[in-house]
């Protein structure tokens, strides 16, 4: 137990970290192109924030939250998602006063107690964005374009964008009524969870994974027919802008998303080849959330993209990812009196901006050369007794085996030149 990680969590090992730097760097690049600024919120929040924000009839709140009492008896929850915390921070710091729209992004681990399987973790990672203060459908299109741009820059292909409008509090009662009318005859057949949610939130059946519920809901009335004029127009505009941007989408009337805060635009991005958990990202508009968490009626829209799933998709598509590790120079010592020179040279190389390391285990010369190859290093800087006596050292290019003697005072600039030349 002490040597195994909790179920549904992953260690990110040194050789994998470059993949994560890559994802984060692309996300930062895209966000800065679109005018979004980073925000970091705590990993845990007051439980009430999620109960109210996400909705207490959702799977997340009913079954998936890591909730605990701290030592003073407060109920806290590891964040299962990023939107409610960002809205809380938006309100707490009065970010609205900086001028709307406020456009934010974030990365980080999220926690959900689900049944672990390929692509479904209990601690997973999201890249998310949230934009506050505008109902303009062009902003919906921008948010979707940003997500698709991120995937394109990663080199992912074959993505499917599913789009729906889930309406507003005006059009929802009509749909609830229609839905309940349709579902009532099946009430004994649907799963116990959907039976429980029938009165309070019948919409959740669209999101239920039970095969029977899925079969029943396949022919259920969707919100589309109930959309009010405002919502229908908004939705048409979003689609027109997406077409303008050349972004293909599939209308999916059954897409409701697993969180209750959505209004109008809802979308999900799917990719094949990563197993059953094919939604690599999703999001939508939440025009009532800021108000329901105690603020003014400020509209919002955003998305959360699963980075663990993005990496699975990149691997499935055979995309070459950057390699981790490696140094420019490995300093190799051979003989008495060379240790001190190694300490000094290592410091000089690093001060000049070269990635440099050395052996600390007293390996033989041969073993140090093996170490340099395995590291891998570009150059081995070999400090031999006799060469040092003459004020020189040997520099070996590990790729080609080419070796040259260089005066000690020129070694740093020599290594820099070689690096600039691309070795």
Q: Does 288 bind ligand HAM (CB under 6 A)?
A: no
Contact segment (CB under 6 A) with ligand HAM among 88-96, 121-129, 166-174, 326-334 equals 121-129
- CA–centroid distance for 365 within its chain: 44
Q: Which helix H or strand E contains 334, and what residues bound it?
A: strand 327-334
Q: Does 302 bind ligand HAM (CB under 6 A)?
A: yes
Q: What is the spatial order of strands in the sheet that 327-334 belongs to?
A: 356-358, 327-334, 377-384, 392-397, 403-407
Q: What is the spatial order of strands in the sheet that 67-69 belongs to?
A: 44-46, 75-78, 67-69
Question: Cα(232)–Cα(168) distance, rounded to whole angstroms?
Answer: 10
Out of 172, 309, 358, 396, which residue is the one contacting ligand HAM (CB under 6 A)?
A: 309
Out of 133, 281, 288, 384, which residue is the one contacting ligand HAM (CB under 6 A)?
A: 281
Out of 20, 66, 67, 120, which residue is the one contacting ligand HAM (CB under 6 A)?
A: 120
In the bound complex, what is the minimum distance in angstroms from residue 216's beta carbon to ligand HAM?
Answer: 23
Q: Does 105 bind ligand HAM (CB under 6 A)?
A: no
Out of 30, 102, 121, 354, which residue is the one contacting ligand HAM (CB under 6 A)?
A: 121
Out of 53, 202, 306, 384, which residue is the one contacting ligand HAM (CB under 6 A)?
A: 306
In the bound complex, what is the minimum distance in angstroms from residue 308's beta carbon to ligand HAM?
Answer: 5
From residue 34, give the alpha-carbon distance in Å to each of 37, 147, 149, 301, 348.
9, 11, 10, 14, 41
Contact string (CB under 6 A) for ligand HAM, positions 71-90, x = contact: ----------xxx-------
In the bound complex, what is the minimum distance in angstroms from residue 15's beta carbon to ligand HAM?
Answer: 21
Q: Does 130 bind ligand HAM (CB under 6 A)?
A: yes
Choose between 121 and 327: whose C-beta lies nearer to ligand HAM: 121
Question: Cα(383)–Cα(386) distance, rounded to whole angstroms?
Answer: 9
Q: Does 109 bind ligand HAM (CB under 6 A)?
A: no
- Tell the burial category of 37 from Cβ atoms under 10 Å away from its Cβ (0-12, 13-18, 19+): exposed
Beta strand 159-165 with 250-251 is parallel
Choose between 282 and 384: whose C-beta lies nearer to ligand HAM: 282
State the SS3 of 127-190.
Answer: EEEEEECCCCHHHHHHHHHHHHHHHHHHCCCCEEEEEEECCCCCCHHHHHHHHHHHHHHHCCCC
Asked if 394 and 334 count as a contact pair (C-beta separation under 8 A), the reply is no
Choose between 55 and 82: whose C-beta lies nearer to ligand HAM: 82
What residues make contact with ligand HAM under the rule CB under 6 A? Answer: 81-83, 112, 114, 119-121, 124, 126, 128, 130, 258-259, 279-284, 302-304, 306, 308-309
């Amino acid at each position: 137990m002490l040597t195994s990680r909790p179920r549904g969590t992953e260690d990110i090992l040194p050789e994998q970290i470059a993949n994560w730097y890559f994802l984060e760097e692309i996300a930062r690049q895209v966000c800065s192109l679109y005018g979004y600024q980073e925000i970091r919120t705590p990993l845990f929040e007051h439980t009430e924030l999620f109960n109210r924000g996400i909705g207490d009839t959702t799977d997340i709140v009913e079954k998936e939250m890591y909730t605990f009492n701290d030592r003073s008896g407060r109920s806290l929850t590891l964040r299962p998602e990023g939107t409610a915390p960002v809205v809380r921070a938006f309100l707490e710091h009065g970010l609205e006063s900086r001028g709307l729209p406020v456009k934010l992004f974030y990365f980080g681990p999220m926690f959900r107690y689900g049944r672990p399987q390929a692509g479904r973790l209990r601690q997973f990672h999201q890249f998310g964005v949230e934009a506050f203060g505008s109902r303009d459908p062009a902003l919906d299109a921008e948010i979707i374009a940003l997500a698709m741009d991120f995937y394109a820059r990663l080199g992912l292909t074959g993505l499917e964008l599913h789009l729906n409008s889930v309406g507003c509090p005006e059009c929802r009662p009509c749909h609830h009524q229609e839905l309940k009318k349709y579902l009532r005859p099946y009430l004994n057949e649907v799963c116990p969870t959907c039976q429980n949610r029938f009165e309070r939130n019948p919409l959740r059946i669209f999101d239920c994974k039970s095969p029977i519920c899925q079969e029943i809901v396949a022919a259920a009335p969707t919100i589309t027919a109930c959309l009010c004029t405002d919502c229908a127009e908004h939705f048409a505009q979003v689609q027109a802008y997406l077409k303008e941007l050349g972004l293909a989408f599939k209308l999916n009337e059954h897409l409701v998303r697993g969180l209750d805060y959505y209004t109008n635009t809802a979308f999900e991005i799917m990719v094949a080849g990563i197993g059953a958990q094919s939604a690599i990202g999703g999001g939508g508009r939440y025009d009532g959330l800021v108000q329901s968490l105690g603020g003014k009626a400020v509209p919002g829209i955003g998305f959360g993209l699963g980075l663990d799933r993005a990496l699975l998709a990149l691997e499935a598509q055979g995309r070459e990812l950057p390699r981790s590790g490696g140094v420019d120079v490995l300093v190799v010592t051979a003989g008495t009196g060379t240790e001190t020179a190694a300490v000094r040279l290592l410091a000089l190389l690093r001060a000049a901006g070269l990635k440099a390391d050395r052996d600390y285990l007293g390996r033989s010369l041969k073993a140090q050369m093996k170490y340099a190859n395995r590291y891998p290093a570009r150059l081995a800087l070999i400090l031999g007794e006799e060469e040092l006596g003459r004020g020189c050292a040997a520099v070996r290019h590990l790729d080609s085996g080419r070796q040259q003697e260089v005066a000690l005072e020129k070694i740093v600039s020599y290594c820099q030149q070689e690096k600039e030349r691309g070795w």
